[in-house]
Amino acid sequence: YGPGHPMKPHRIRMAHSLILNYGLYKKMEIYRPDLVEDELMTMFHSDDYVHFLQSVTPDNMNDYSRELQRYNMDVDCPVFDGLYKFCQIYTGASIGGARKLMQGNADICINWSGGLHHAKKSEASGFCYINDIVLAILELLNHYARVLYIDIDIHHGDGVEEAFYNTDRVMTASFHKYGEYFPGTGGVKDIGVNKGKKYSINFPLMDGIDDQSYQSIFKPIMAKIMETFQPGAVVLQCGADSLAGDRLGCFNLSLKGHAACVDYMKSFNVPLLILGGGGYTVRNVARCWANETGAVLDQKLSEEIPYNEYYEYYGPDFNLHITPSNMENHNTKKYMEDTKIELFECLSSLPKPSVQIKQMPQYLGGDQKESSVKEPNPDVRISTREADKMVMDEREYYEDDKDQDREAIPMQLS
């Protein structure tokens, strides 16, 4: 994304390194994601938008000035080398996880590189280009009559909600900061339209929500949804920008409070696809997703961070868990209770889903599954130019001298 951009994709490497060094990989099956072809991308995204993402590069972007404006490619969503392949990888992992669930090869699948919930049908938005969540849900709908999407990112999951706003086969539930905050959508009255009316659930929140307050609404709302909607599969977006101390966030959740959502949804024993999302204090993003990988595996991780290639990021204490701040919680008990009651009333009158599996369009059928992805050819040599593109630019690690992630490095390790 660039040296001054808050999105740092190397947070995925950091999370991966922690998961390896905690030994969690030994209790998991690891799959390499396939590269998704444009044919599958266009199951949701428009043909011209996908073609643009394939074609544009930093070298030729001046030739696409009109398209850059049309597709909202700006400072938030910049053009960079390898952009389309980046989208193919994280989207392929989400779709691949959905297929593992459908085939009965796993009960829970995790893709921390996915969860890019803001991307629209023909537009990039909020650091997101391809909406892997929508594509994974479309895949799940080939097998399951109903799919539940849950979003605990601090930002409203607008791209996913919009995609399924008028269907009763997908319910979306988002717990997010609301008001003068990106993307500005997700009011409690936004409940869907037509067949999808009452299938969009939004719990707008204010600054400073803590673990206790969050769980006082999350658990009862999700219990009611599971009782009334009865999904065949659940997709849980675990954006880590709802943690205390996030560079772009204003919530006050601890790792334990965030992971409690994962634990709770796991307890229903419904096929579960867990995805990443936002998170801009990279050391805490890695902490969070490693901890939640442990939660999925019923493994309690040691408080002391194991030595790894990013060890210096976790100083000065080198502990797993973070301490919430003393910021004020602006979510009053009355507001939380009133909003919860309003959502309960909506869910209590929820009609039974009417759509049957056989009514799904033919293009979502299974015949194209094997041809939808492109396996890397092990016999093809990677050029030096391509290999260079895979090397992380050190400038991306830090924004400037005031970057708080840089402040976490007190020493050089030999």
* CA pair distance 241, 180, nearest whole angstrom: 17
* CA pair distance 189, 345, nearest whole angstrom: 12
Q: How far is CA 121 from CA 50, 160, 194, 326, in A?
A: 10, 10, 20, 40
16 tagged catalytic: no
Residue 304: DSSP 8-state = B
The 10 Å Cβ neighbour count of residue 263 is 13
Question: Which residue from 297, 303, 221, 296 is spatially nearest to 254, judged by alpha carbons?
Answer: 303
Question: Which residue from 407, 393, 403, 288 is spatially nearest to 1, judged by alpha carbons?
Answer: 393
- Residue of 16, 45, 118, 176 marked active site: 118
Three state DSSP letters for 348-408: HCCCCCCCCHHHCCHHHCHHHCCCCEECCCCCCCCCHHHHHHCCCCHHHHCCCCCCHHHHC
Cβ–Cβ under 8 Å, residues 271 and 232? yes
What token pair was written down for 123?
A: 């537009």
Cβ–Cβ under 8 Å, residues 94 and 132? yes
Answer whether the bond into residue 353 is a cis peptide, omega within 30°: no
Q: Cα dihedral angle (303, 31, 313, 281), rounded to 10 degrees?
A: -100
The residues carrying an active-site annotation are: 118
